[in-house]
Amino acid sequence: MIKITVIGVGSLGGFVTAKLIEAGYPVQLMVSANSRLLELSQLHVIGKEPFQVPYQNIISNSQHISGDIIFITIKAVSNPLLFASLSHLKNKKLILLQNGIGEEEQLAEAIDDSNKVLGAISHIKVTMHADNKIEVQNDQLDFIYADLNGTESDPSLETVIREVFPQVEHRPDIYQVRFPKLMVNAACNAPSVIYNLSMYELTQASIAKEMIHLLAKEVRQVAKVYGVYLEKKNMDDILDMLACEDYRPAYFSMKLDYDGKRPMEIEAVYTNLLHMAKIRNIATPELVRVTHILQTQFLHE
């Protein structure tokens, strides 16, 4: 049977792990050396369909990775250290399931050419409570992926993924996967942090909405030169969805990280995007401005 390793067993990684164990796959968990999961033995998924699963194979040293398929679900801020530790791997499928853009290329540069690198996103909303309780907060169980160096789908991989995300979609290149969600992340995370606003509040504050539309427009301009055509309506639809009281207590991930005094994914969401724009000579003054604000005014000591 296919062996699976999940690197980063937080909310998203915990959900992936729990669903795969429930489906009967042998799953290895890789966590940091100080993770409480090393002392525990079960994952609890709560929400509409609660369940719990036991786990045994848990490691904190990448040299012990044994999976044929490796899900990387850590925050992108930890990528440099992790990628450098994976150079010994051969003939693996590594799936980067996280926010941002441009990280797949960096992973590919750090590891052996015999490995296959895939990028993926999902619109599921999950939250980790305590140390081993994962709350599923919506029913968007989609998984959109692409091979960094290929255009074909991977039916055997999709069989595994459907145990977690029933709605699997393959796209022909990594930019088709990354840019649509990046438009939302890049447009909404900065104003959420800068103006201290929830998802709902972003849609009610004119100053925040103005920033969102400027940022989204610049992302669309960069995406276009990389062959991805995004509509303004896509951003408008997201704002219409968030203009609901249900989203008053909900926050974008960078705001949650800032409030939790954790590093924010500025490089993966903003810096990499600015680099891509610079390569193609695309002017992005608002992206430059908000990135500077985040880097100079909102970094924890």
Q: Which residue has the tokens 């925050």?
A: 75
Element (H, E) at 44: strand 42-46
Single pTM value for the model: 0.94
Domain 176-297 class in CATH: mainly alpha
Cβ proximity of 103 and 96 under 8 Å: yes
- Enter the tokens of residue 90: 């051969």
Cβ proximity of 256 and 193 under 8 Å: no
Question: Which pLDDT score, from 0 to 100, does residue 138 have?
Answer: 86
Is the pLDDT at 133 greater than 80? The verdict is: yes
Q: Where in the chain is the domain with CATH 1.10.1040.10?
A: 176-297
Cβ proximity of 197 and 208 under 8 Å: yes
- Enter the tokens of residue 293: 């604000």
Range 181-193 average pLDDT: 97
Averaged pLDDT of the chain: 95
Q: Which CATH topology does 4-172 take?
A: Rossmann fold (3.40.50)
Angstrom distance (rounded) from CA 70 to CA 37: 19
Question: Which pLDDT score, from 0 to 100, does residue 300 have?
Answer: 62
Q: Which residue has the tokens 């969600």?
A: 181
Sign for the pseudo-dihedral over CA of 166, 148, 85, 291: negative
